[in-house]
């Protein structure tokens, strides 16, 4: 072989070329095919190529050894420069420019050629050179692999060979390996060559190539560095061409996962102006990959599947985690097609040495419309520069997204916006999370809700409720009451309780307050009833449902005739009784009161019922001691106007009752109502109040229905309380004899209500007295105070 002396530049260049041709990694021989391709790329006629081949001795050897290759390259340079091909000239020509090879397709080739022409002594540009090849390696690869199907062998700036996740390191690494391998033959020079080459590349960096920043970022791998620098150093004259040309093309080079060698298909990551843009080819590839995981393109890839998929890329988990964070826009733990493409793209980029951006690049934002930001997100800071407009729009997303997208892209870079968005999206998640947390925490509302629906504001209801209450109060132990709880589901119970308040309100409470206050005792009464089913009332009050629902009933009840209110004033007394009757007797005295009440007929609320009441009360006494109290109250109520002493005693009882009920207010109201009733009782007939009650009475509880007839019968009963008591237990259940029982209970309830109303009034009077005393005491205290201060 002819001796061949190469300049350093040439040396590097040639070695590089050799490496690129050294497909088989023989480190010694460049495959004929590639070499020939390379030679052809030199745009020399075939004859010349043939001649060169002969001259370099490859023909003889049958293959291109390193020396042959170098010779050939030199000859090519000669030929390109127009010099005759002579072996002698190999060493003689000093300023022989480096052989230029045109790679890639068409215009790129032309560009290359142009660039080549322009670039001189700038090191082996050919694949990379003219800025075009900013993906130097890639272009080099491309040159060596003319078969590269990629559209643009010119990776604008980012040439990192993108190897699908399955392939190990990026092509740069492969490239480097290649070189290293190739260096085997020429140890002395080889190591230096790459090193020299790289700096060369580095020098040539012009400004415009935005991708350079990215490249420069890859300091760790020297090869990449050089790649980067190389891109930066394209000849100024040629450079300008490339960026503009590069812009529209975002060629992506990707290496086939199979091999690390340059044979792999390489695509460049999108051009520098938008380094993160995904080319159509890439996108198609991504979509295909997406399909392998999730057939439905509009569907989502679950996080676990995505994890497996991307783990194959052998990136460190931390980076994968970061990629995920960037790409999972809606933070739903799953990837849509756009998200997947973005993630894949980031993986590819990472594998090619690109550092991951802090924020998702705009071009990778999942968008409803695939906006190609060819206009660019040109940021010299390659990685971080991309404004993350956190808008994710998948094809499935609503059309509103695009507009949002626009807004976001306008907003751009703000971390706050990013945060805001993530907050928004995540907040929705968290909101749901919180909501779910909150929801179960309030079972009461859940229980209460159905109640209002059930509750139909009606006078009848309210009256019935009141009656029930009173009846229940009186006859807690009665079987009807006990039967009641079983019948009542939770809702029913609530309904019942609510109804009770309703009825009480209708009975006489003109104020919603009283109504609400009734609810409590009512609920407590109901609770008691429930517990009665057990045996003794225990903590009945605890189960009281929330007051609000019954309110409307109160209004309704209020709307009911005043007569009803008055008449049912006695009923309100009923709720008092539940409070009073803390221990619902187990035995349903219903029969007794029924018997007693029926014959008695419905008496007037106050007075008439007394005797009957008393008669019945003894029956109930053992079971309902409070009833005895009520009877006393009844008597008291009758005597109230004239007997203060009784008032006192009764008030004492009333107080007890009130205490047990825990609602002074209701007591007062009861008393007041009782008072009113007392005034009107004698004159008022129960029949009148009874009449209204029947009207409103409607569906709901059968007790209500039962109450109706009971109400009608009330006027006939003289023993109100007894009747009420009788009706109460009967109200809830047993239909057979229920009517009478209900009626009796209704009467009883009314009577108790009346009594309680009176009691209430008395208590209120006492309260007033006490308040007056208190005021006087306070005044005295104040008088004394100054002295203390002194």
Partner 1 sequence: QSLCVHLNYPLYIRSVPTQGELKFHYTVHTSLDVVEEKISGVGKALADQRELYLGLLYPTEDYKVYGYVTNSKVKFVIVVDSSNTSLRDNEIRSMFRKLHNSFTDVMCNPFYNPGDPIQSKAFDSIVSTMMVQAC
Name the site residues for partner 1 (rule: CB under 8 A). 302-304, 306-307, 310, 317-318, 320-322, 324-325, 328, 331-333, 358, 415-416, 419, 422-423, 426-427, 429-430, 433-434, 437-438, 440-441
Report the residue number, 334 or 742, with the smaller CB distance to partner 1: 334
- Three-state secondary structure readout of 141-174: HHHHCCCCCCCCCCCCCCCCCECCCCCCCCHHHH
Closest approach of Cβ 306 to partner 1, in Å?
A: 6
Q: At its nearest, how many Å lie between partner 1 and the CB of residue 364? A: 15
161-176: b (≥16 Cβ within 10 Å) or e: bbbbbebebbbbbbbb
Identify the bridge partners of residue 718 per DSSP, sorted by sequence position: 601
CA angle in degrees (0–180, nearest 5) for 23-25-31: 40
CA atoms within 13 A on the CB side of 304: 0
In b/e form, how buried is each residue of 662-678, taking b as 16+ CB within 10 angstroms?
bbbbbbbbbbbbbbbbb
Q: How far is the CB of 327 from partner 1 (least distance, A)?
A: 10
Picking from 193, 118, 113, 210, the residue whose alpha carbon sits closest to that of residue 155 is 210
Q: How far is the CB of 326 from partner 1 (least distance, A)?
A: 8
Question: Which residue's CB is nearer to partner 1, number 413 or number 426?
Answer: 426
Cβ proximity to partner 1: between 334 and 724 the closer is 334
Distances (CA, A) of 663 to 37, 224, 741: 102, 85, 28
Cα angle 558, 584, 611; round to 5: 70
Q: Which residues contact 441 (CB under 8 A, 6 or more apart)?
A: none
Return the closest-CA partner of residue 349 out of 509, 535, 158: 158
Nearer to partner 1, 343 or 746 (CB): 343
Tell the smallest beta-carbon distance from residue 320 to partner 1 (Å): 5
Minimum Å gap between C-beta 446 and partner 1 is 14
- What's the closest the beta carbon of residue 46 comes to partner 1, in angstroms? 54
The smaller minimum CB distance to partner 1, of residues 265 and 315, is found at 315
Q: Choose between 240 and 302: whose C-beta lies nearer to partner 1.
A: 302
CA 678, 683, 687, 690 torsion-angle sign: negative
Distance CA 140, CA 159 (A): 10
What minimum distance in Å lies between the beta carbon of 437 and partner 1?
4
3-class secondary structure per residue, 353-398: CCCCCCCCCHHHCCCCCCCCHHHCCCCCCCCCCCCCCCCCCCCCCC
CB nearer partner 1, residue 129 or residue 382: 382
Give the DSSP H or E segment for 30.
strand 29-30
Strands 334-335 and 301-302, bridge-based pairing: antiparallel
Q: How far is the CB of 440 from partner 1 (least distance, A)?
A: 7
User: Minimal distance in Å, beta carbon 152 to partner 1?
Assistant: 33
> Least CB distance from residue 349 to partner 1, whole Å?
16
Nearest to 241 by CA among 122, 117, 125, 114: 114
CB 98, CB 13: distance < 8 Å: yes
Nearer to partner 1 by Cβ, of 5 and 304: the residue is 304
- Closer to partner 1 at the Cβ: 333 or 599? 333
Closest contact distance (angstroms) between CB of 10 and partner 1 is: 46
d(CA 74, CA 69): 9
Nearer to partner 1 (CB atom), residue 69 or residue 276: 276
Residue 581: φ, ψ to 5°: -80, 85
Nearer to partner 1 by C-beta: 69 or 310? 310
Minimum gap (Å) between residue 382 Cβ and partner 1: 17
Residues with Cβ within 8 Å of 65's Cβ and at least 6 positions away in sequence, in order, are 28, 29, 30, 58
CB of 324 to partner 1, least distance (A): 5
In the complex with partner 1, the residue whose CB is nearer, 27 or 331, is: 331
Instruction: Identify which of residues 421 and 515 has a Cβ nearer to partner 1 in the complex.
Output: 421
- Looking at the Cβ atoms of 328 and 623, the one nearer to partner 1 is 328
Q: Among residues 390 and 692, whose Cβ is nearest to partner 1?
A: 390
Q: What angle do CA 319, 320, 324 make, to 5 degrees?
A: 115
Cα–chain-centroid distance for residue 92? 76
For the bound state, the minimum distance from the C-beta of residue 333 to partner 1, rounded and expressed in Å, comes to: 4
Rounded CA-CA distance 304/512 in Å is: 58
Please state, in angstroms and as integers, the Cα–Cα distance from residue 404 to each residue in 361, 391, 408, following that order.
16, 7, 6
């Amino acid at each position: 072989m002819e001796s061949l002396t190469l300049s350093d530049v040439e040396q590097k260049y040639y070695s590089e070329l050799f490496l690129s041709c050294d497909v088989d990694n023989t480190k010694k021989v460049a495959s004929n095919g590639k070499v020939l391709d390379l030679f052809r790329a030199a745009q020399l006629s075939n004859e010349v190529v043939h001649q060169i081949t002969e001259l370099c001795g490859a023909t003889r050897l049958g293959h291109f050894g390193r020396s042959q290759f170098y010779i050939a390259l030199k000859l090519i340079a000669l030929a390109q420069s127009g010099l005759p091909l002579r072996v002698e000239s190999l060493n003689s020509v000093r300023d022989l420019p480096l052989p230029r090879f045109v790679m890639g397709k068409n215009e790129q080739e032309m560009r290359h050629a142009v660039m080549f022409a322009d670039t001189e002594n700038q090191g082996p540009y050919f694949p990379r050179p003219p800025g075009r090849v900013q993906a130097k390696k890639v272009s080099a690869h491309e040159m060596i692999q003319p078969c590269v199907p990629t559209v643009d062998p010119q990776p604008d700036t980012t040439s990192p060979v993108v190897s699908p996740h399955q392939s190990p390191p990026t092509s740069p690494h492969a490239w480097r390996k290649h070189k290293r391998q190739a260096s085997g033959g020429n140890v002395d020079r080889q190591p230096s060559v790459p090193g020299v080459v790289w700096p060369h590349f580095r020098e040539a960096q012009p400004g415009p190539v935005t991708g350079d920043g990215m490249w420069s970022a890859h300091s760790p791998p020297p090869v990449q560095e050089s790649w980067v620098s190389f891109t930066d150093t394209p000849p100024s004259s040629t450079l300008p061409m490339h960026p503009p040309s590069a812009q529209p093309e975002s060629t992506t080079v990707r290496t086939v996962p199979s091999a690390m060698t340059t044979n792999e298909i390489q695509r460049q990551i999108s051009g520098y102006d938008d380094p993160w843009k995904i080319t159509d080819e890439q996108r198609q590839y991504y979509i295909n990959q997406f399909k392998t995981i999730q057939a439905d393109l509009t569907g989502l890839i679950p996080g676990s599947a995505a994890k497996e998929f991307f783990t194959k890329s052998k990136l460190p988990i931390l980076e994968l985690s970061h990629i995920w964070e960037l790409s999972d826009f809606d933070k739903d733990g799953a990837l849509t097609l756009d998200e997947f493409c973005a993630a894949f793209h980031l993986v590819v980029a990472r594998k090619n040495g690109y550092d991951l951006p802090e924020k998702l690049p705009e071009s990778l934002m999942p968008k409803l419309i695939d906006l190609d930001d060819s206009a660019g997100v040109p940021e010299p800071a390659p990685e971080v520069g991309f404004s993350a407009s956190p808008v994710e729009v998948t094809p499935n997303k609503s059309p509103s997204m695009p507009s949002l997208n626009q807004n976001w892209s306008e907003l751009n870079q703000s971390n706050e916006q990013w945060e805001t968005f993530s907050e928004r999206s995540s907040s929705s998640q968290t909101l749901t999370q919180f909501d779910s947390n909150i929801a179960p925490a309030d079972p009461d509302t859940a229980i209460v809700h159905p109640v209002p629906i059930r509750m139909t504001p009606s006078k009848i209801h309210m009256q019935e409720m009141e009656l029930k209450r009173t009846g229940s109060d009186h006859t807690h132990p009665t079987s009807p009451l006990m039967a009641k709880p079983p019948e009542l589901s939770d809702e029913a119970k609530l309904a019942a309780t609510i109804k009770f308040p309703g009825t009480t309100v209708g009975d006489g409470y003109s104020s919603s307050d009283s109504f609400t206050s009734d609810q409590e005792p009512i609920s407590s009464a109901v609770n008691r009833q429930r517990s009665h089913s057990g045996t003794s009332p225990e903590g009945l009050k605890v189960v009281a449902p929330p007051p609000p629902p019954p309110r409307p009933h109160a209004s309704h009840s209020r709307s009911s005739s005043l007569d009803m209110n008055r008449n049912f004033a006695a009923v309100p007394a009923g709720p008092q009784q539940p409070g009073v009757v803390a221990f619902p007797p187990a035995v349903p005295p219903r029969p007794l009161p029924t018997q007693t009440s029926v014959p008695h007929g419905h008496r007037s609320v106050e007075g008439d019922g007394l005797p009957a009441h008393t008669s019945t009360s003894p029956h109930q006494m053992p079971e309902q001691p409070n009833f005895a109290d009520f009877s006393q109250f009844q008597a008291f109520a009758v005597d109230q106007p004239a007997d203060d002493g009784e008032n006192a005693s009764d008030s004492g009882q009333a107080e007890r009752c009130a205490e047990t009920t825990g609602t002074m207010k209701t007591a007062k109201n009861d008393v007041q109502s009782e008072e009113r009733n007392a005034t009107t009782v004698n004159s008022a007939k129960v029949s009148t109040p009874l009449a209204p009650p029947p009207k409103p009475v409607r569906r709901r509880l059968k007790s209500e229905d039962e109450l109706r007839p009971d109400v009608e019968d009330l006027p006939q009963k003289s023993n109100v309380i007894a009747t009420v008591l009788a009706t109460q237990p009967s109200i809830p259940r047993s239909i057979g004899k229920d009517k009478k029982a209900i009626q009796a209970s209704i009467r009883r309830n009314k009577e108790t209500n009346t009594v309680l109303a009176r009691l209430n009034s008395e208590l209120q009077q006492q309260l007033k007295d006490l308040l007056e005393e208190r005021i006087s005491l306070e005044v005295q205290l104040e008088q004394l105070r100054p002295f203390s201060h002194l």
